[in-house]
Amino acid sequence: MTYENLLFEIKNENTALITFNRPKALNALNQALMAEFSTALDRIREDTSIRVLVLTGAGEKAFVAGADINELATYNALQAKRFSMQGHAAISKLQALPLPVIAAVNGFALGGGCEIALACDLIFASAGARMGLPEITLGIIPGFGGTQRLPRLIGANRAKELIFTGRMISADEGREMGLVNQVCPDLDLMETVLKTAAVMAEKGRVALRAAKEAVNRGLNVDLASGCEIEIDAFSLCMASTDAREGTRAFLEKRKPCFKGSFDS
C-alpha cells in the first residue's frame, strides 16, 4: 500500500518504521494523516513478522508539531469531536499493539505529536528535541489523550503545570521527569533507536506481548490484581514454543531462536 502522508519501511527484517511525512507542515496531523496512520497500524498488527515498531518524523525539525491548525481552525464543536475521536481511536490502537513501540523524537513533539509519543512504550529523543502540550495557548485543551496519559507517566502536578502553561520542555528536562528514556546526539538518534529495536526484536514475540500487556493492564488495577495478571501472563508464556526454546538454549549454552508461537 502507498501512503501520501506516511513512509512505511521494514528495517533489520522485523522492525517497522513509520515516518510522519508532511515536512513542510512540520508533520502536523490532519484527518488524512490520521486515517493513514490507523491503516498502517492495522497492517502492523496483522503482520506477525514485525517484532518492533519505530515512529519518527520526516525532516530535521519535527517529529509531529501538533494538529494542522489550518484544518483545526475551521471546525465547529461537532467536527472537533469527530477529529478528537479519530485521534483517540488511532492512538489507542497504537498503545494496544502487542509489540514494543519506540518514539524517535527528532524535533518538535507538540500537541498531538506529544500525545502519540506518550502512547509509545519508549521515547528516545534527540538532544535538540522539544516536547509539550501547548493547546492552552490556542484556547483549547489536549484532545488526543494528553490529559490522561501524561499524568499517569509523570504525575498529576507536573502534568498540570505543563498543560496549564503550555510550556515546552527540552529532551533533558523530559528525561528528568521520566517522560524520555534516553537523550541522543541529533545525528545518532535513529542509529541508537534501531539498535535498541534490534535487541528487542531478538526476544520472543510471545514474551514481549505478555510483558507489555502485564505492565499496561497492571497500571490500572491494585497491586494484588496486577500480580494476578502477571501470574496468568507468565503461565501463558510457558505454553509457548518460545519458552521451550529459551530454556533449552540456556541449558545448552547457545543463543535461542524464537519463533513466536504457542504449542497446539
Query: Which of these, 54, 119, 72, lies nearest to 92 by C-alpha position?
Result: 119
Catalytic residue among 4, 13, 60, 135: 135
Q: Give, as one character, the DSSP assignment of residue 221.
A: S
The b-or-e profile of 31-56 (16+ CB within 10 A means b, else e) is eebbebbbebbeebeeeeebbbbbbb
CA 91 to chain centre: 8
Q: Is 135 a catalytic residue?
A: yes
Catalytic residue among 71, 115, 161, 252: 115
Q: Which phi and psi angles does 64 have, rounded to 5°?
A: -150, 120
Residue 22 three-state SS: coil
First-residue to last-residue Cα distance in the chain: 33
Q: Is 191 a catalytic residue?
A: no
Taking a C-beta distance cutoff of 8 angstroms, is the pair 17, 56 a contact? yes
**Considering Cα of 113, then 117, then 118, then 120, what sign does the dihedral take?**
positive
Q: Which phi and psi angles does 56 have, rounded to 5°?
A: -155, 180
Query: Which of these, 144, 141, 104, 120, lies nearest to 20 by C-alpha position?
Result: 104
DSSP string, 224-258: HHHHHHHHHHHHHHTTBHHHHHHHHHHHTTS----
Strands 122-126 and 130-132 turn out to be: unpaired
Looking at the annotation, which residues are catalytic? 115, 135
